[in-house]
Amino acid sequence: MQTSPAAVATLDSLVLLIEAALAGLTPSKLVLGYSGGLDSELMACALSHYAKKHPGTQCLLVHVHHGLSPNADTWARHCEHRAARYELEFVLEKVRVKQGARLSLEAEARSARYAALMAHLAEGDVLLTAHHQDDQLETVLLALARGLGPKGLAAMGQQQSLDDGAFQVRPFLGLSREYLEDAASALDLSHIEDESNQDTRFDRNFLRAEIIPRLKSRWGAIGATASRSAELCAQTQMLLDDEVSERLTPLISRCPLSHAFRLALGPVAASSRAWQAQLVRGFLEVAGLPPPSKIQLDEALSQLFAAKADAAVSLRFGRTRLRRYQGWLYAETESDNASHSLSGSTKTSATKTSATQTSATQTPFRQTPVTQQMLAEGIATPLGKLQLLPTDAENEGQDAHYWQARVPLGALIGDLTLVYGLPGSTKAWPVGRGKQRELKKLWQEFDVPPWLRISIPMLCCDEALVAAAGVWVEKTALEKSSQQESEDWLTIRLLRI
């Protein structure tokens, strides 16, 4: 590495970029994703200079060995040697990249790489990457090719939040590839050349080799102008996100039984079609579910808002399941093993049936003998852990994570069973109701979605219903009380998943 005044000046300018990119952050640890290519080599060199100016900050170089190239071991040795020259801590991470006919090697390698890098980050730490202006142009072009909107066209930000309170920072994002090449030359840096970068079967390599040079020959500043467009899209998306969040917050709640996210559809239906799309997308993001494609979303909106008010609409795309019931849109990830999962095509699909026609009788009746001891230890149910506790051990009140109710000990003396899938014609008498009602009516009155009814643990004693756990206690169960002050009472609790 050169130590001439010009080289030192170059290093100083790069350190200033790192310091500016970290503005507002106070990391105790910086982790550089260090491939050994030109961009990350220059960043590693600059980070060495930064570490001397900021001795209180831990600086770590992490090289991810993907095992995909015959030169991978040579690259790892290069990076370890250079890290020693830079007097920076070095870690080699070997990963296994998934490969298959339907898998993108680029995407799988990136996923494995970031997982390895994230393992070195804690809250407040910063992941440094050497993305530059040409990388940003590639990202914008790929977003255009995929038909993405402002969020996709916003591409990469200089500072972005990661999981667990860490951040990703890209100090070189405003620099062109040509600038970085000149800087590396001025510093006399050696770097590796990844032969896979010449393989134009990969989209980014194709853009880098075939498209971007032609664009630059016609519009020399296209890297800078595309970056400016990305920044404008990011600003637009930020304003849109703020407005969506303000509108969505009062409309989103959790299902009392499954704790799945749900969206109040009345105000959404009253909005324009464009806002319906934004709100549903925002809702899915809050729920932690992947967004549908534009075609899938358009079809979903048509079915959600065109169906009759009493129709139960069910939609599925990928592993995401959306269901409409009594003015709510419920969102969850489809589970193959869940007792209330519905089979269907992986394509967007919908079913419309009267809510009263969808009942627990669609799934076979099941019952399991249990004991008070088993309940005291806790029994796993589709909706969570069912427990029987001494009343003095219960929590005060209730919260979003559990339901509980008291019953006299006399209501639980006998043969206990947990029952699922009771016929809708079964009569029950919840506490506070004036008379017995059929289950199919009570499920509707208690706003229990049809697909969850078969998952509700019905606790019975001598074949008499004691409680629909998570929903109600039977009036007849409370009538087993002796009305004596010394009488023992127990608490039935359903700790939700």
Residue 38, annotated ligand binder?
A: yes
User: Which CATH superfamily groups domain 5-237?
Assistant: HUPs (3.40.50.620)
Determine the 3-state secondary structure of 129 from DSSP.
coil
Domain boundaries defined on the chain: 5-237, 250-333, 367-496
Determine the 3-state secondary structure of 161 from DSSP.
strand
Q: How confident is the model at residue 397, as a pLDDT?
A: 47
Proportion of the chain above pLDDT 70, given as a percent? 90
Specify the CATH number for 250-333; select among 1.20.120.140, 1.10.240.10, 1.10.3720.10, 1.20.59.20: 1.20.59.20
Residue 378, annotated ligand binder?
A: no
Q: Are 492 and 386 in contact (CB under 8 A)?
A: yes
The predicted-structure confidence for 368-385, as pLDDT tens digits, reads as follows: 999 999 999 999 999 999
The tokens describing 460, both together, are 């019975």
Q: How confident is the model at residue 443, as a pLDDT?
A: 94
Q: How confident is the model at residue 312, as a pLDDT?
A: 78
Say how far apart CA 340 and CA 334 lie, in whole Å.
10
pLDDT at 349 over 50: no
| Least confident range of 271-275, 311-315, 427-431 | 311-315
Q: How confident is the model at residue 359, as a pLDDT?
A: 39
Same fold flag, 5-237 and 250-333: no
Residue 152, annotated ligand binder?
A: no
Q: Does 5 or 50 have the greater pLDDT score?
A: 50
Which residue blocks in 271-428 are alpha helix, DSSP H? Answer: 273-286, 294-306, 372-377
Main-chain dihedrals φ then ψ at residue 47, nearest 5 degrees: -65, -35
Q: How confident is the model at residue 364, as a pLDDT?
A: 61
Proportion of the chain above pLDDT 90, given as a percent? 75
Q: What is the mean pLDDT of residues 327-346?
A: 59
Burial class, 315, CB count within 10 angstroms (exposed 0-12 / middle 13-18 / buried 19+): buried
| Predicted structure pTM score | 0.77
Q: How confident is the model at residue 4, as a pLDDT?
A: 80
Q: What is the mean pLDDT of residues 430-448?
A: 93
